[in-house]
Structure formats: C-alpha cells, structure tokens
Structure 1
Amino acid sequence: MKLAHRLTQLGTENAFEVLNEVNRLKTAGRDIISFAIGEPDFDTPEHIKQAGITAIQDNFTHYSPSAGILPLREAIAGYIAKTRSLCVNHDEVVVTPGGKPIIYYVLHALVDPGDEVIYPNPGFPIYESVIRFTGGIPVPVPILEEKDFSIDTAELEKLITPKTKLIILNSPHNPTGGMLTAKDLAHIADLARRHDLWVLSDEIYSRITYGGTFGSISSLPGMQERTIILDGFSKTYAMTGWRLGYGVMNKELAVHIARLITNCESCTNTFVQLGGIEALTGPQDFVDGMVDEFKARRDLIAAGLNSIPGFSCKIPNGAFYVFPNITEACRRLGLPDGKALQQHLLYNANVAVLPRSAFGKRNSGETQEYLRFSYATSCDTIAEGLERIEKAMRLS
C-alpha cells in the first residue's frame, strides 16, 4: 500500500496495547490483575445515566452545533468560572467527543511545520504523537522525581527558542501523579507572557487531588487569553465511554476549533451532552466519595510498593497513578530496564503495569527506571497485586 508519509509520524497510546495483551491472556485462561489502564472502576452515577436515557427518549438524537449545545457550553462556562476564578462566556467553550480531540485540534490550529512545542516527559504519549503529526518539533521538558515529579522551570526556560509556539502542561500529571506548585505556575506564566507563547493546560484530573492545591495557569494575570484549558467528564464522573470533553479558550480560537470539528465529526453526540449538563449541575457527592476512595487506594499501594525490596514510591498529590522508581529492582533481577521488569511481572506474576518507555523516550542524562501503576481498582485487588509482585521479586 502507498500510504501518506505523515502516518510514519503518528504514535499510539501504549496503555491500550498492554490492555489488548491483558485481554488476550485472560481469554487464554490467565488470571491477570491490571494496573495498566487509566480508567475509574466506578460506574457513572445513576442521575447522569438517567439524564442520558431521558434525552434519548426525548429525541435528542439529531445533530447539534459543532461547538456543542448552548446549555452545556453555558454550564461549562459557569463551572470553569467557579473553579478557576475566571470570567468565562459560552462562546469560549468548545465541546468535543473526549479530551483528546482538544489536543489534536489545538495543535493543528496553532502549530505550523517547524514550530516547536514543549511538552512534559514522561507524559501522556498523545502530546508527542500529535506534535509530530502536525509537522511540529516536539521538545521534551523533564518531569523530575527529585522535584516531586514537577517541571524544572529553569530547564524549561532554557528550552524556549524563537521557534517555540506552545507549552503543554498537565497537572495533576499522568503518569506520575505530580502537581505543579503555585511557584511553578507563576514562573511558567511569566515565560509565556515574555515570549508570547500559547499554553495548552491539560486539567483532566483537576478534581482528583489529595491535599495538594490545584491551580490553573489560566487564572494568573494575562494568561486567560493565551491558555487553552482541556477538561472533561471521563475521570471526574467515571464517564470514559461517554466520550465527552471540552476546551476553554479565547473566542477567536474557539471559532477555528469548531470549524475543525465541522470538518471531522460534525458534532459531539447530542444526548451525551445532556448527560454532561446533569454531571456539572447535579449532585457532586459522588465525586467527593470517589476521591476519598482513591486516596485510600493511593495510601495502600504506595505503602505496599515501598515495602517491596527494590521499589521506591513517592506519594502523589493527584490523579490515580503512582510512579515507583524500580532501578534497584531491575538490578536485583538482572534486568536491563523497566520494560523487562514490566514483562517479568506480566508473565511471571500475572500483574499488568506500564513501563516508563510508554510515556516517551528517556530525557538526556536520565538513568532511573520507573513503572506506572493505576490504582483505579479496588483495595482488595491492589492487595492481591502487591502480594503477587512481592512473591515474584522474592522467588526470582
């Protein structure tokens, strides 16, 4: 087949590849405990499901505006205004089928071939994938364990050149659970203003925090007009399969993003958007309860990993991931890297995790090895998984 060259620049999300292997092994009769996929194991709250069902029964099954239905955009504008202390209008909101389209469309709207985009590494792999796909130049900024998995803003400053167009932030952060501090955000905002840069702030985990204070760079002086907020419903309301996300940006850019949607999927599912209104405006006790449960799971998995020889795990302040340093574990087993340990645990302990390599190539000078564990599963499952890992390490 003669395929377009641009496809050679398109990456993937390794979590789904591991999920496929897990499913294959389960089909073959293996009892696999998976910490690989970043999906809440909670069901969508009943009142949200009922809103979607009612919307179908009321025939909200037709096209909607490409930017989203007005009542949802107004609800999102109100939610962002309340949670980020901003003045937001509905014409600054664009609704999409999940959060990933915001990454895709914003990069296509802002980045020309040869433009540089700074993004967190390790980080969500779709950032680098789409940067390359647009013809942009991906410039990784290290996420450092010694800074509690935050950005080294001094290093970030060194990476900015006349070709830099955009900085991507993700806080709370996937895969580490780290969070940007107020000092970090202030420094990055100063750099964005000085160098006239856009910022794409991926805030999909903004409601899932455990003591660290979430802050949006959009709330800082002079940043609302140059920041695109990415948020959505998948993580906060356990609505991954609904595919409902949004971007908040200046209204001039919003028009262009909506036009890209028109050219691609026309609009986001209409009755799903009615579910989104109920999620934002209905009871929020589900979210608080889910976060409390995630905190208990975080404490359990971090303590358990720290008790296993060769594992060293920082306690994260957000999201539902831990990112233990497993350099010593690899040395003990004579394994070359985290990918080899990930394979060892999958095939010898029946435990699925993701290696550091699933979240970008090593930064220059990076020597440590890591695994990502998603603790979006029950405490009983976490305890069983930890027992299997400890046994696999002891018997190897």
Structure 2
Amino acid sequence: MRVYLDHAATTPLDPEVREAMRGVEEAFGNPSSVHRFGQEARRVLEGARERIAALLGVRPREVVFTASGSEANALALLGVALAKGRGHVVSTEVEHAAVLGALRLLERLGFAVTRLKPDRFGLVYPEQVAEALRPDTVLVSVMAANNELGTLYPVHEIAQVVHAHGALFHTDAVQAIGQVPFRAEEVGADLVSLSAHKFYGPKGVGALLVRQGVDLVPLVPGKQEGGRRGGTPNPVLAHGMAVALEKALRLLPEEAPRLLALRRRLEEGLLSVEGVELNGHPERRLPKLVNVTVKGADGEVLLLALDLLGVAASSGSACSAGSLEASHVLLALGRSPEEAKASLRFSLGRFTTLAEVEGAVAAFREAVARARS
C-alpha cells in the first residue's frame, strides 16, 4: 500500500494541466521581445494573467507572477515596508516560515514588529489586530488558512479593521485558494499570495495580487511584471497555473464536501486511538487537513514507521539535518516541545479514496504502537 496524504506540502500535477502546458511549450520566446516568437510567448503569459485575474476578482495588471508563494510573501512584506521606509508591522506567531523570515529581516532593518499570539485553536481575531495597531502601523499580514493546522482566519473582518486604521492588509492565501471560496475583492486584501503547486499546478510559479495604487519596491529590480519583479517570466508555467486554478475552482463545489466527508472519517479513526488529540479548530478548518498529537510517542519513530507502512504524511514541523524540530505553530498553541514533535499532519487530495483513508488509519494504529514501544 502506498498512500499520499501530504497534499498541504504539495499536490501532484494534474494530467489535464500537464497536457495544457505541453500545448504551449513551443512558446519559448522572451515575452519582452518584439519579434513574433516573443509576442507569442507574451500572448500565452498575458492570457494566463487575465484568466487568473478573472478567477480571483482582480484586474490583470494586479497579478504579479513570482517563482513561488514564499517569494510572493517576501515581496508583499518587504516590498511594502521598503516603500514606506519605516514603521510598524503586525502579523501572527503562526504564519508560514516565509512570512516569519521576512518579519525578522524587517526588524533588522529597523521596523517594529508585533506578532499576535493565537488561541488554543490557532485563531487570531479582529479585536487582537485592532489592539495591536499603532499610529505608525503600515502593514498587517494574517494568513487565510494555516498550513499546519488548516485553521481558517477571519480575514475579511481583519481587513476591515486594518483599512479603517489606514494601513495595508496582506494575506498569505497559499493554502486557501483552490480549497475554499476566495475572491480578493470580497476579502478586501491589498495583497494576496498564492502558489500553483498547492492546487495541482506546476511547481516554480506563484503570484502576488497587488491592489492598484499600492506602492511596492521590487526585491528583484527589472522592468518585467510592471516593474514589480524583474527576471524573464515563464509563460508555460503561468499557463499551467491558470489552467490548474480554473479546474480547482470548477471542482470546488463537489470536491470540498467530498474531502470533508473523508476528513471526518480520518479524524474518527485517528482520534479513536487512546492519547491522540486534535490540533486546530474543530470546524473552522480546511476540508482536507487533520493535525493530531500522539501523547507518549517518539515523533521521529512515528513518522518513519508510518512511511514504512506506506503512508506519506508530515510532522507539521521542519526536518533539518535529519532531526525533527518542534513546530513553531504547535508551540504557539501551548504544546510542549515533546508533544509538538509527536504530531502529524494528514492532508487529503483530489485523488484520495475512502479505501486509502481506511488503510491510513490502520497504518497509523500500527505506527503509534511502534512509536510508543
């Protein structure tokens, strides 16, 4: 048995997306060139930009292609802050590592940073944001969905609080877009990060949605992407991203309830094991994701045993130099370092079946037994 339950880390490239990319792979020219090869590449690139913009409720010129969601996050935080020159930034303790890294860099550059502590479900609230705002606050960044817990954040309400104060609002929507309904115009965010490989598109391409009028200093200087991100863009990857997003949103009305039913079955099986506890909000969560802590288990043995039994999941923490590190997200929720290391994230996907979920539950029981002995 081989079961892939790590879709929050990455998704397989959808066969339809692969074929669509093959259909435009001859568009190899530089989109900035004036000859017909360059103009054909530009046609593919701008077509992808227009499709993504329409799907997410923004103008085409507001879509800035990047190489990843992490780059989009860095461009949003650093680009806005550098344009402002100085000030205060608000975020949370449970953001993606790309956001946390950008916050640390901003502090080194002299910016003041406030990181909001979540409740036991991993949630932060508009009231917390309002209390943290200062006269010199220039930007607030709160993710739409947590990458380890699946917890969904009240980003629309937070955006309203931020705008009433006169600051800009960024949301890392990498885990949300394609998984739950999301349109930038409805959320009210000034900047939104997304990544193609989270919704069955190709790796190596992401985007930052930048509301018209937002001043942004490019991290890579150049004339491409409206002067906001230098470097020759890849039209084929952009096309794959657009096709993948269209399919993900088209399937969403049927896929979300299917995944939710599978998630509930998976949760039931995992939580039936003694000493296993759920992390994240019990209901306000992505349909596909379950994070649990296994009390009394060796975390590294648990993950390796599960892999040997044919189930791919993740620890919900970084694996560096072969040793597990306690997840900053779980520590922020109040888990001890030992509990955080003995936690697993299961994330379901488009091709996951009920039989695979049942098999994963059986493998989990065996892995827990090994990790506790």
TM-score (norm 1): 0.69
Aligned partner (choices 298, 316, 319) of residue 354 of structure 1: 316
Task: State the shift of 1:52 in Å.
Answer: 0.9
Task: State the shift of 1:175 in Å.
Answer: 1.5
Structure 2 letter corresponding to 1:343: E
Structure 2 letter corresponding to 1:157: A
- What is the aligned partner in structure 2 of residue 13 from structure 1? none
Structure 2 letter corresponding to 1:176: L
- What is the aligned partner in structure 1 of residue 39 from structure 2? none
Cα separation, partners in 2 of 1:321 and 1:282, compared to 1, 3 Å: closer
Aligned partner (choices 323, 327, 331) of residue 291 of structure 2: 323
- What is the aligned partner in structure 1 of residue 360 from structure 2? 382
- Is contact 2:13-2:202 (8 Å) kept? no
Unaligned runs of 5+ residues in structure 2 are: 34-41, 308-312, 318-324
Q: Secondary structure at the match of 1:177?
A: coil
Mapped pair 1:49 → 2:49: no
Structure 2 letter corresponding to 1:379: V
Unaligned runs of 5+ residues in structure 1 are: 1-30, 82-87, 334-340
Equivalents in 1 of 2:263, 2:32: separation in Å?
40
Equivalents in 2 of 1:284, 1:194: separation in Å?
31
Equivalents in 1 of 2:314, 2:173: separation in Å?
26
Task: State the shift of 1:179 in Å.
Answer: 1.3
Equivalents in 2 of 1:296, 1:150: separation in Å?
23
Equivalents in 2 of 1:391, 1:70: separation in Å?
54
What does the per-residue CA deviation read over 1:266-294, in whole Å, with 9 as the maximum and x for residues that have no partner? 13312222223433556965556654553
Cα separation, partners in 2 of 1:193 and 1:254, compared to 1, 3 Å: closer
Equivalents in 2 of 1:367, 1:98: separation in Å?
30
Deviates more, 1:316-325 or 1:62-71: 62-71
- What is the aligned partner in structure 1 of residue 201 from structure 2? 239
Q: Secondary structure at the match of 1:251?
A: coil
Equivalents in 2 of 1:190, 1:202: separation in Å?
17
- Is contact 1:298-1:320 (8 Å) kept? yes
What does the per-residue CA deviation read over 1:30-52, in whole Å, with 9 as the maximum and x for residues that have no partner? x9988667335544132x21221
Aligned partner (choices 156, 161, 181) of residue 191 of structure 1: 161
What does the per-residue CA deviation read over 1:345-396, in whole Å, with 9 as the maximum and x for residues that have no partner? 2356657523483335944x94564434032464255224422233236x53
Task: State the shift of 1:195 in Å.
Answer: 2.5
Structure 1 letter corresponding to 2:88: E
Mapped pair 1:300 → 2:276: no
Q: What fraction of aligned residue pairs are identical, expressed as a percent?
A: 13
Equivalents in 1 of 2:292, 2:359: separation in Å?
18
Q: Secondary structure at the match of 1:324?
A: strand
Cα separation, partners in 2 of 1:373 and 1:259, compared to 1, 3 Å: closer
Task: State the shift of 1:239 in Å.
Answer: 1.9
- Is contact 2:202-2:240 (8 Å) kept? no
Cα separation, partners in 2 of 1:200 and 1:155, compared to 1, 3 Å: same
Equivalents in 2 of 1:246, 1:202: separation in Å?
11
Q: Secondary structure at the match of 2:194?
A: strand
Aligned partner (choices 177, 186, 189) of residue 219 of structure 1: 186
Mapped pair 1:268 → 2:233: yes
Q: Secondary structure at the match of 1:165?
A: strand
- Is contact 1:94-1:258 (8 Å) kept? no
- What is the aligned partner in structure 2 of residue 61 from structure 1? 28
- Is contact 1:97-1:269 (8 Å) kept? no
Aligned partner (choices 63, 69, 73) of residue 49 of structure 2: 73
- What is the aligned partner in structure 1 of residue 322 from structure 2? none
Q: Secondary structure at the match of 2:49?
A: helix
Runs ≥4 in structure 1, deviation > 6 angstroms?
A: 31-34
Task: State the shift of 1:200 in Å.
Answer: 0.9
Q: Secondary structure at the match of 2:138?
A: strand
Name the count of aligned residue pairs. 329
Cα separation, partners in 2 of 1:137 and 1:362, compared to 1, 3 Å: farther
Q: Secondary structure at the match of 2:21?
A: helix
Task: State the shift of 1:125 in Å.
Answer: 1.4
- What is the aligned partner in structure 1 of residue 118 from structure 2? 143
Task: State the shift of 1:55 in Å.
Answer: 0.9
Task: State the shift of 1:323 in Å.
Answer: 2.8
Cα separation, partners in 2 of 1:353 and 1:78, compared to 1, 3 Å: same
- What is the aligned partner in structure 2 of residue 170 from structure 1? 143
Task: State the shift of 1:246 in Å.
Answer: 1.6
- What is the aligned partner in structure 2 of residue 97 from structure 1? 67
Structure 2 letter corresponding to 1:140: R
Cα separation, partners in 2 of 1:114 and 1:309, compared to 1, 3 Å: farther
Equivalents in 2 of 1:383, 1:75: separation in Å?
40
Task: State the shift of 1:307 in Å.
Answer: 1.1
Q: Secondary structure at the match of 1:175?
A: coil
